[in-house]
Amino acid sequence: MSFRRWFASFPTAAKLLLILTAAIVPVAILLIFFANGEIVEANRALRGRTDDQARAAVREMESLVARNVLALRIGANAAYSGGLAGSCDRAQRALSIAPGVAKNFELDDVNGKPICTVGESAITAGLPLVAPGAVVLRLAPDRDALVLRVGVNGGMATGTISLNELREIAEAGTADLDSLILSDGYRRLTIFDRPDPPSDDRVPVLLNHDIGNGQIAARASAAMPRISTLDRLLLLMPLLMWVLAALITWLLVTRLLIRPLKHLQRGVAAYTPGEPVELPRKLGPATEIRELRDAFRRAFSRVEESEQEMVLALDGQRRLVREVHHRVKNNLQVVASLLNIHSRSAPTPEAQHAYAAIARRVGALSIVHRNHFAEMEENRGIALRPLLTELAAELRAGAPEGARGFMIELELEAMHSTQDVAVSVAFLITEIVEFAMLNRPSAEVDVTLRRTSELTARLSVGSPVLNPDETDQPGKVQFERIVSGLAKQLRSPLDRRLGRYSVDLPVFPN
């Protein structure tokens, strides 16, 4: 099946749905694809911004640690350069000129033994020994501080950076970060934690950075916007538009087109010629459907007028044909009467017999026309039983003087046939009955007509005079030739048996 035939097999509403789908759905898919790409790009930009903020906060803290490490290294070198005596004073004087660095520190010898302490004592327990130039970073959650140890020539210096200092330098420009936590692998120090209330349209994101060559891990978290229900609806808006357009189109087509057409179709299908036209009055707001209804009504009116004209013409034709058959019948009866009159005044018996034979045949033809005239009132064909009954009575009435007591026994079933068949049957019976009356007037003739199938019947005429093998009877040769010809007119062979001749003839179904 081709696409055109397949598409034409659908109803109108389905065709419109397919057309809208083919026109809108590809555009909707492209819009969804591009919108989703824009959202992904926006999320990527937000994540990059948050990552930049986390990296900036870590960089600031790392810069603070680097300044403190440098200051401790300078102070420790100044302290150990003049010997152990007065080392803390020298270190403190060196650190006092460095802004933004730790003022609390501890000096230790190469074995980790404390030499002196300035300010609050640093946390040295658990800190490893470091070589000159090396740096160790550790967290002290119980002190809310970051501990750093620097190795120099002659010993080590240990200092702390408070949580407030770390928070102050990290919070600048980190509005999108919810939390920032430092970890050294064993301990954690929360720089800040600003948890947002739970929300369905934000998803947490974790960002990791290192401080001090990986000694401290900084983990930042932020709540990133994600596709919400409203965003999904906005993404699906083209598809929703398609669904809405399909629904509105289906409703409009059904309301304005399909339903009125179905009402109009039922009204047209219920129309019966000759009865008043009943078409629906309310067919919706579509003016085209109402105009179509009015066009149907006008067409039905013209059909009614045409049928009335045809009925009148057919009635006139029927009257004309009836008049023609009536006049033919009358003319045949006049001819038969004239033949009877001339037969009575014929000079010889042979002429009288000839006139009588011709009159019987003209009378048979007149009977057929009279029955055909009656058949035209019912249009069912010529009824054979009344035809043969009237023919038998006519033949007995016109029998010659020597056959006045001639008897014709009839056994006929009711059936109908055409005029041609009726003429051939009437002539066939007339020939056989006349032959019997002339050759054996004392013998009885029986005529039977029985249906043998839905479309055929069998006509049988019985008489002792019928003997196919006897050829010395007067007029036998001509008789056999005539009845054979009439049987051929009925398109059936004549079944000749001793005492009975039979032939099949076509009839109408019951």
pLDDT 10s digits, 419-452:
888 888 888 888 888 888 888 888 889 999 999 9
Q: Where are the beta strands (DSSP E) in 97-215?
A: 105-108, 114-118, 135-140, 145-152, 155-162, 179-183, 188-193, 202-211
Record the pTM.
Answer: 0.43
3-class DSSP string for 299-364? HHHHHHHHHHHHHHHHHHHHHHHHHHHHHHHHHHHHHHHHHHHHHHCCCCHHHHHHHHHHHHHHHH
505, 492 in Cβ contact below 8 A?
yes
**Percentage of the chain modeled with pLDDT above 90:** 5
Q: What are the two backbone dihedrals, phi and then psi, of residue 339, each rounded to the nearest 5 degrees? A: -65, -40
Would you say 139 and 146 are in contact if contact means Cβ atoms under 8 Å apart?
yes
The torsion angles phi and psi of 181, rounded to 5 degrees, stand at: -130, 135
What 8-state DSSP symbol labels residue 44?
H
Closest CA to 49 of 217, 174, 226: 174
Task: Kindly tell me if the per-residue pLDDT of 155 is higher than 90.
Answer: no
Enumerate residues 6+ apart whose C-beta is below 8 A from 325.
369, 372, 373, 376
- 161-186 mean pLDDT: 80
The percent of residues above 70 in pLDDT, for the chain, comes to 76
Distance of alpha carbon 261 from alpha carbon 253, whole angstroms: 11
303 or 458, greater pLDDT: 458
> Distance between CA atoms of 181 and 208, rounded to whole angstroms?
10
Query: Closest Cα partner for 492 from 452, 464, 465, 435?
Result: 452
pLDDT digits (tens, 9 = 90+) for 22-80: 777 777 777 777 777 777 777 777 777 777 878 888 888 888 888 888 877 877 777 77
- Report all structural domains of the chain as residue ranges with CATH numbers, in order of start: 9-231 (no CATH), 315-506 (3.30.565.10)
Handedness of CA 66, 68, 74, 76 (dihedral sign): negative
pLDDT band at 459 (very low <50, low <70, confident <90, very high): very high
Output DSSP code: residue 254.
I
Identify the residue whose tokens are 């004239």: 338
Q: Which pLDDT does position 99 carry in this prediction?
A: 54
CA torsion sign, 13 to 17 to 18 to 23?
Answer: positive
- The reported pLDDT for the residue numbered 316 is 82
Mean pLDDT over the full length of the chain: 77
Among 42-56, 98-112, 141-155, 167-181, the range with the most confident prediction by mean pLDDT is 141-155
Q: Check pLDDT > 50 for residue 377.
A: no
Question: What is the token pair recorded at 373?
Answer: 């005239």
Question: Residues 322-375: pLDDT tens digits?
Answer: 777 666 666 666 666 656 665 666 667 666 667 666 767 777 766 776 666 555
